[in-house]
Amino acid sequence: MTDEPKVPPEGSGAPGKPADQAEGGPSKPAAPMPTEPAATETPAKPGAPGQGAEGPGKPAPVAPPAAVAAGPPKAAAPPSKPAAPAKPAPPAPKPVVKPEPWSSPLVDELRKRFPGAVGDALMFRSQPSIVVAKEALIAIGEFLKSEAGGAYTFLTDETAVDYPKRAQRFEVIYQLYSFKLNHRLRLKVHLREGESVLIVAGV
């Protein structure tokens, strides 16, 4: 008994072939999968080819680069100089020191012993001075040398000053010192031009 050829069941295709080819017709292509539309550029405004949107003969303006639009670069400003230090205010002027009247038991004793021969007694910068008449200079010097007069036994200096505007323009000054009291005393004698005074070296 011979085998009979097997006929494939109706509606089925040949082995290994799709069912649509089994009927003798060409296979239909598969429907394409839907895809997202590609991004498109914004359409330009209508115009002739080669023309800008503003009309014929006017090309579309092109924005200049930022460097060109801003102009050439400006030169850097020179560094500022440091501010000069403030000058200190000038010191206030010192007050003028003027001689002040001086009173002491010594002055009172001299005026008592030699009336009319003792003039102004002044204190200037802690230095006492007495103006005496030239005629009484030697007698006053001897009294000041004694213990009662203060023991002024040392003549430290002798000098003179010229005041041209004064009637008695010359002023002879004797600087006395007392070792006993540690005091200094100035005797002043006023002289006119051409006048002289006795020397006190013997005293």
pLDDT, tens digit (0-9, with 9 covering 90-100), for 89-130: 888 888 888 999 999 999 999 999 999 999 999 999 999 999
pTM to 2 decimals? 0.54
Dmax (CA) for the chain in angstroms is 196
Q: Domains of the chain, with CATH numbers?
A: 100-191 (3.30.460.80)
